[in-house]
Every structure is written in C-alpha cells, then in structure tokens.
C-alpha cells in the first residue's frame, strides 16, 4: 500500500465539544497504519496545545498531556498557524513544547511544532492526499 499524506485540521477549542479529543483519538488510531501524518492547529484550535490546562472545574478529562505522546506515534509534523496565535494574543511560549525522538539520530529530541503563516499552511494543505477537519 502506497503511503498517503494525511492532514488532520483542528479548528476548535479543546473543551465544550468533543471534536478535539475525537480528533486526537483518530490521529492515534490512524498512526498505526503508518501513513505520512500531519496535524494543523488553526483558529481556536491553537488553544488545544496550550500549557497549564486545568479541567477540574468542568468535569472533563484533561487530555492535553496526550499531545506529548504524538512523538511516540511517529507523528512529527505539527503545524501551528501564526496568525491564529497572534489574533488570540498568544505566542509559541504559551504552547506545550512538543518533541519527537529520532531513532536514527541516537534518540535526539527534535521539535514537532512548526510555526507557519496562513499562506504557508495553504501550500502544505495543497500537498496533502487526505484532509480531515475537526
């Protein structure tokens, strides 16, 4: 089976709807099929990656630690849209530091998050075979 490029686009805030968690589960399941997987976080989706999430007041599971497992699943391309961050008064420092370990480079830790402009992200989207919107 030829490898296809899969892109999962996350556009919504992490809680309040089930989209963010469902998207993450689909990504983790899909990663088992050894495709070329990317994630993008745009609009309110950038909130999904924020540090220091606390869900104790809303009785929902805080699944933000799970994003750190993506590297183990060989998901190493996580695009964050620059304009979406700026529109919300956020910078990369407000987001979790996500890394993956390169087995072929003595397990060196490498950054997974790629900060891209809206125009750059559009080009990345254009190069995909399959897109999932959440």
Partner 1 sequence: MPIEVDGKVLETDEEGYLANINDWVPGVAEVMAKEDDLELTDEHWDIINFLRDYYEEYQIAPAVRVLTKAVGKKLGKEKGNSKYLYGLFPYGPGKQACRYAGLPKPTGCV
Q: Tell me whether residue 125 or residue 132 sits nearer to partner 1 (CB atom).
A: 132
Closest contact distance (angstroms) between CB of 31 and partner 1 is 8
**Min dist. Cβ of residue 123 to partner 1 (A):** 31
Report the residue number, 63 or 132, with the smaller CB distance to partner 1.
63
The residues binding partner 1 (CB under 8 A) are 25, 28-29, 31-32, 61-63, 65-66, 68-69, 72-73, 107
Q: With helix as H, strand as E and coil as C, how does the chain read?
A: CCCCEEEEEECCCCCCCCHHHHHHHHHHHHHCCCCEEEEEECHHHHHHHECCCCCCCCCCCCCHHHHHHHHHHCCCEEEEEHHHHHHCCCCHHHECCCEEEEHHHCCEEEECEEEECHHHHHHHHHCCCEEEEC
Q: Which is nearer to partner 1, 33 or 87 (CB)?
A: 33
């Amino acid at each position: 089976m030829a490898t296809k490029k899969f892109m999962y686009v996350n556009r919504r805030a992490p809680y309040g709807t089930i989209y963010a968690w469902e998207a993450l589960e689909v990504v983790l399941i899909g990663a088992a099929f050894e495709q070329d997987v990317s994630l993008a976080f745009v609009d309110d989706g950038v909130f999904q990656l924020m540090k220091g999430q606390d869900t104790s007041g809303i009785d929902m599971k805080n699944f933000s630690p799970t994003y750190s497992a993506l590297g183990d699943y060989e998901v190493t391309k996580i695009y964050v849209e620059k304009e979406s961050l700026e529109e919300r008064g956020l910078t990369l420092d407000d987001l979790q530091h996500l890394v993956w370990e390169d087995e072929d480079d003595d397990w060196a830790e490498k950054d997974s998050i790629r900060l891209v402009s809206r125009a750059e992200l559009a080009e990345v989207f254009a190069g995909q075979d399959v897109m999932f919107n959440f």
